[in-house]
Amino acid sequence: MKIITTEIPGVVILEPEVFGDARGYFFESYSQRIFDQAVRPVRFVQDNESQSKYGVLRGLHFQKGKYAQSKLVRVVHGRVLDVAVDIRRGSPTFGRYAAVELTGENKRQFFIPRGFAHGFAVLSPQAVFQYKCDNAYAPQSEGAIAWNDPQIGIDWQLPAQAVLLSAKDSRNPPLAEAAELFDYNEDYYA
């Protein structure tokens, strides 16, 4: 597995070695041992899957405090732009984002550590998106920031009129108005 660093320390792209022949392909999509050594020790406890159509934008979401989550995400079918935004106050990269195109063909994965908001936009007619989380879903701890916050300036690679949001995501505040975020100097893995 190849580990590709991004401009934000801790946010990485994982590129598996794919073995293919006339029958099809095989690749190891996850190894706890390799992940712990190459990325960071994380114990994933929940797997989720979503299916979305072109233009769907989910995010930018996070869970606060002791319910903070790391995510390891990938696309099984289709194509998405996946984004992680640093929301750790005091971080040298606070408010900056890393983005990667994930497809069923490139089989890349994206690791989003605790302390980041996460979102993705579907760029193909349909996409099946899978993610591993290292903490259970806790609705009382949900947080979110606006997908179109001009201070962050994410290019979602979609025309604005094509963006499809949930009612909840259409009301998320900009980063500057988000009530509870993360502190760069606190270890959310302790």
Shortest CA distance to 82 belongs to which of 107, 127, 119, 52? Answer: 119
**Catalytic-role residue among 25, 61, 77, 137:** 61
Distance CA 115, CA 70 (A): 8
**Catalytic-role residue among 67, 97, 131, 188:** 131
Q: Is 67 a catalytic residue?
A: no
CA angle, residues 39, 135, 98, in degrees to nearest 5: 45
Residue identified by tokens 């794919």 is 18
Residue 51 makes CB contacts below 8 A (sequence gap 6+) with 126, 127, 128, 129
Q: Is 137 a catalytic residue?
A: no
Residue 138 makes CB contacts below 8 A (sequence gap 6+) with 63, 67
Residue 72 makes CB contacts below 8 A (sequence gap 6+) with 14, 30, 35, 42, 44, 109, 110, 111, 112, 131, 132
Give catalytic residue positions.
61, 131
